[in-house]
Amino acid sequence: MKRKLNEECGVFGIYCQDHVAVAPLTYLGLFALQHRGQESSGMAVSDGTQLRLHKGSDLVPKVFSDEILEELKGHAAIGHVRYSTSDTNLPENAQPLAVDSAFGQVALAHNGNLVNSAELRQQLARSGAVFNTTTDTELIVHLMAQQGGSLEDALVKTAQKLTGAFALVVLAKDKLIGVRDPFGFRPLVLGARLDGYILASESCALTNLGAEVIREIEPGEMVIIEQGGVRFRRYAEEKREAFCAFEYVYFARPDSNLLGQNVHQVRKRIGAALWHEAPVDADIVIAAPDSGTPAAMGFAEASGLPFEIGLLKNRYIGRTFSGPSRELRELGVRIKLNPIEAVIKDQRIVIIDDSIVRGTTSAKIVRLLKETGAKEVHMYAACPPYRYPCCYGIDTSKEDLVAAKYDLEEIRRLIGADTLRFLSVEGLVGAIGLPKERLCLACFNGDYPLVGACCDCEKGEGAENGQ
Q: Which of residues 393-412 bind a second copy (CB under 8 A)?
A: none
Among 24, 416, 430, 433, binds a second copy (CB under 8 A): 24
DSSP bridge partners of 231: 224
Are 251 and 36 in contact, with CB atoms under 8 Å apart? yes
Among 87, 326, 399, 435, binds a second copy (CB under 8 A): 326
Are 116 and 108 in contact, with CB atoms under 8 Å apart? no
Rounded to whole angstroms, the Cα distance separating 222 from 184 reads 12
DSSP bridge partners of 172: 106, 175
Indicate the SS3 state at residue 397: coil
Residue 139 neighbours by CB under 8 Å, 6+ apart:
114, 117, 120, 121, 124
Instruction: Give the footprint of a second copy on residues 279-308 (CB under 8 A).
Output: 290, 293-294, 297, 301, 306-308
Instruction: Give the footprint of a second copy on residues 132-151 (CB under 8 A).
Output: 132, 134, 141-142, 145-146
DSSP bridge partners of 169: 109, 178
Among 115, 204, 425, 432, binds a second copy (CB under 8 A): 204
Rounded to whole angstroms, the Cα distance separating 457 from 448 reads 6
Among 76, 77, 78, 98, binds a second copy (CB under 8 A): 98
Rounded to whole angstroms, the Cα distance separating 72 from 304 reads 54
Amino acid identity, position 294 = P
Among 237, 281, 304, 325, binds a second copy (CB under 8 A): 325
CB nearer to a second copy: pick between 101 and 419: 101
Query: In angstroms, what is the minimal distance from the CB of 67 to a second copy?
Result: 10
Instruction: Give the footprint of a second copy on residues 441-460 (CB under 8 A).
Output: none
Rounded to whole angstroms, the Cα distance separating 274 from 296 reads 9
Q: Which stretch binds a second copy (CB under 8 A): 110-118, 236-244, 311-319, 417-425?
A: 311-319
Instruction: Give the footprint of a second copy on residues 371-390 (CB under 8 A).
Output: none
59 near a second copy (CB under 8 A): yes
126 near a second copy (CB under 8 A): yes
Task: Report the catalytic residues.
Answer: 9
CB nearer to a second copy: pick between 177 and 390: 177
Instruction: Give the footprint of a second copy on residues 210-269 (CB under 8 A).
Output: 210, 253-255, 257, 262, 264-265
Among 14, 45, 51, 60, binds a second copy (CB under 8 A): 60
Are 198 and 13 in contact, with CB atoms under 8 Å apart? yes
Scanning 308-400, the segments in alpha helix (DSSP H) are 325-331, 341-344, 360-371
Among 19, 228, 304, 322, binds a second copy (CB under 8 A): 322
